[in-house]
A and B are shown apart, each in its own frame.
Chain A
Amino acid sequence: MKPILTAALSTVFLVTTASSVLADPAAGKAAFEAKGCGDCHYTAGPAKEKTIDDQLAKKGPELWYAGSKFQKDWLGKWLADPKPIRPMKFNVLTEENPGDHPKLAGADAASVADFLMSLTSTDVPAGKVKPKKNPKGRQIFIKKMPCSGCHQYAGRKNKISGGRSGPSLVDAGVRLNPDWILAYLKNPKVFKPVKMMPVFTGLLSDKDMMNVARYVANFKPKKKK
């Protein structure tokens, strides 16, 4: 009797927990489709891009692993009040990001975030990366394999430095799942088979990739003193 009770209680607990984490992905999916989000973002994996032309034909980033890539709190807020993440327009080197991503009303933003968070990849093992100050990661990021050449970040005294062709990594620790950063560095082609960023697999050791992931995942707004 006891095992049955335990199992029943566990099921109730799991269902409750899951529903509080993923409130209503179905409603979010309907809103995603109704708002035409799918015109620019595809949500069914695996990755489809095989050539540069395939990548350039996309109007926005793929979202089929959004639930493994983003943090839910950030995603809901961003959908309700989107601010440019990329300094340059998506897939364009000669135009600034116009900052014209459509805004979703509060309820839609929350349900679309639920839907997107339900889209996960089995290639992002959970619980691997703990955000942490990391001098080795910093050294690689700024000097050795200079991620900073293409990605903005907040340096000393909060000064924004870095290149503009990649997505900004300012406050990336609020936006990105730390485990995704590592998974992407280790196995980039699963997520983005054709991309402007070099493949670092085989060039950086697993340990160094972990250092970079920890360092980037620690990019958070500085607390005001």
Chain B
Amino acid sequence: MKNLMIIAAVAALASQLAMAPVGAAETEKVFKFYCAQCHGLTGKGDGPNVTKDFPVSPRNFTNAKEMNKLSDADLKNVIMDGGPSVSKSPMMPPWGKTLNAEEVDGLIKHLRVLCKCKGKQG
């Protein structure tokens, strides 16, 4: 019986760990790996893909005024389903098949740190 209880406790802990949110350091790594190609390492919209031919300006995440127009749900939509899901450019591709839910939630928090803003509420 005691063994069973230990197993149950370990299983509960393991499932909690699996659900644990991605930490800030890990999220920054995710951001720099996937997002910085276009949005730049510091999120100013100046990644190496942004040449004079690039058809749109990738979002500058440090622009609080613009970032405040978007709710966290908008950010989630655009990350998961790409620009067209919020009537923006398809140059922002859908990452829903690449990133897991915890990574996306972590990125949203990271964007709020970069913009020092809370975004559109409600």
Contact = CB atoms under 8 A, between A and B. Distances in A.
Interface of A: 52-53, 55-56, 87-88, 93-94, 143-146, 149-150, 161-165, 196, 198-203
A163 B97 contact: no
Give the dominant DSSP class at A's interface: loop
B51 A198 contact: no
Contact of A88 (B29, B48, B54): B48
Contacts of B53: 161-162
B48 to A, nearest CB: 5
A201 B94 CA distance: 11
Nearest to A162: B53
The bracket for how many chain B residues form the interface is: 20 to 34
Contact of A165 (B48, B90, B96, B97): B48
A93 B90 contact: no
B33 A164 contact: no
A164 B97 contact: no
Kindly name the residue among B30, B37, B50 whose own CB sees the greatest number of chain A CB atoms within 10 A: B37
A163 B90 contact: no
Contacts of A201: 97
A94 B49 contact: no
Contact of A163 (B34, B36, B49): B49
